[in-house]
Amino acid sequence: MKRLLLLVLTAGFLSPIAAQAESYWLIVLFNEKTSQKIEMESLEQCQQQGEAWKNSGIYKKAIISRSLKYVCLKGK
C-alpha cells in the first residue's frame, strides 16, 4: 500500500498537471493495486467527498471494504 501511495505522489509531482495553478485531488485507494484520482475545487470539498464515498455503503459487503481508503492532496 505504501508503494502505491508513493507511486501516486511521485506521478502527481512529475505530471504536467502539477504545473497548473493550485489544485486539490481526491485519491481513492481500493487496494494495493487499484486507485483513482479525482480533481476537486477545494480541500474541504475533497474531504467531504472522501468521507461521503467511504460511508456510502457501496462496498460494505465486498471483501475489499476493509482496505478502502482515501487521501486529499494539494497540487500546485
Q: Report the C-alpha dihedral over residues 54, 58, 60, 61, rounded to 10 degrees.
A: -160
pLDDT digits (tens, 9 = 90+) for 19-76: 557 899 999 887 778 888 999 999 999 999 988 887 777 666 555 555 678 899 998 7
pTM, two decimal places: 0.59
- For the four alpha carbons of 12, 42, 1 and 68, in that order, the dihedral sign comes to negative
What are residue 38's DSSP bridge partners? 26
Distance of alpha carbon 76 from alpha carbon 54, whole angstroms: 26
Distance of alpha carbon 67 from alpha carbon 76, whole angstroms: 29
